[in-house]
Chain A
């Protein structure tokens, strides 16, 4: 089989391309203005949802627990996590607006960086925020029910129960976060990593 055969067939493609384009039936700009369903767009949408959900959550916590003695700790801790992760991710997503017009290798490298950063952010949120939030919530509930710190008769026992439950919670979170992240981005990361590795192979070949 000669190569020029392929080239000739490829050129015959133009007819199909033009016919499809003419058959679109609506303005090309109208189609182009539709909402993107790209993975970056989805990540951006998720980041927005998380930021807004965070604001609503904190508004609720403020409303119900503003008089709790531990509220200041919870609010301060939550704010640091919220600003440090949510805002950082959103800023990065904005920076990656040009990801699609980079060359293929740089674009894939940037996508992988974005996924990994998103993954690390989810891990930080889940592994740190939930166990500490759980512990704080435990004591806040205790105080809200009328308890006081000096009423705790056996602090070691409570500490042990808390530690065990936090460990169980952390293990559960570790497992579900991994599953969730793989479900969300796993296929992209695997596929893009393969393409990245195959393109990078050149150092070994040449």
Chain B
């Protein structure tokens, strides 16, 4: 069971990272949320019967965890090397090519704007950017695919406005 879980997480770690970044604006909160998603997935794993796709199950658990997540100051991921590692990466990037630096800036700016959206809007745009169809998003969110389409149109407009205001074009 442990090995299967590990394989699933290794294959889908991107989902955890992107959801945690979309719902946490600070490093400590990000670490906490990432860990909490892992805990919830592990607890839910024995009851996962494979009726839905693995990715659908992960999105549901991760989004539900993120939506009820609140900042906790006391507990942090007990991997101090993670924070150190991130700091190293950022410092390294300073000496990298301008293209890569711009790329990193664009990603950071995108997350900054996503963080300003309402919580349910973040979930929907995240699923859209992940390439999920309206039907898949509807299955994860529990709403109709027509409504997913309507909401995505609105959210994209708002996201583009936010990106423009924050100088996306200049990067």
Contacts and interface: CB of A to CB of B under 8 A. Distances in A.
Contacts of A25: 79, 81-82, 85
Interface string B60-77: 110111011010100101
Contacts of A28: 5-6, 9-10, 38
A102 B142 CA distance: 9
Contacts of B75: 37
A20 interface: yes
A151 interface: no
B129 A102 contact: no
A34 B6 contact: no
A97 B140 CA distance: 18
A36 B79 contact: no
A17 B14 contact: yes
A56 to B, nearest CB: 27
A153 B38 CA distance: 68
A101 B119 contact: no
A111 to B, nearest CB: 6
Chain A, interface size category, equals 35 or more
Given A104-B60, A195-B67, A20 B39 contact: no
Nearest to A19: B89
A90 to B, nearest CB: 17
Contacts of A31: 35, 38-39, 77, 79
Given A18-B14, A19-B89, A102 B60 contact: yes
Nearest to A191: B119
A10 B110 contact: yes
B64 A32 contact: no
A80 interface: no
Given A101-B57, A103-B140, A39 B68 contact: yes
A23 B64 contact: no
Interface residues of B, number: 69
Nearest to B34: A20
B9 A101 contact: no
B44 A98 contact: yes
B107 to A, nearest CB: 6
B144 A206 contact: yes
Contacts of B18: 10, 13, 17
A34 B68 contact: no
B35 A34 contact: yes
B24 interface: no
Given A102-B60, A107-B60, A32 B38 contact: yes
Given A9-B107, A10-B110, A10-B130, A102 B64 contact: yes
A115 to B, nearest CB: 10
Given A6-B110, A195-B119, 7 more contacts: A13-B107, A24-B79, A98-B47, A99-B64, A100-B64, A104-B142, A192-B68
Interface of A: 1, 3, 6-7, 9-10, 12-14, 16-21, 23-29, 31-40, 97-108, 111, 187-188, 191-192, 194-195, 198-199, 202, 205-206
14 contacts: A17-B18, A20-B17, A21-B17, A24-B82, A28-B10, A37-B32, A38-B36, A100-B43, A100-B64, A101-B47, A104-B63, A104-B140, A188-B70, A205-B147
Interface of B: 2, 5-6, 9-10, 13-14, 16-18, 32, 34-36, 38-44, 47-48, 57, 60-61, 63-65, 67-68, 70, 72, 75, 77-79, 81-82, 85-86, 89, 103, 106-107, 110, 118-120, 123, 129-131, 139-144, 146-147, 150, 156, 159-160, 163-164, 168-169
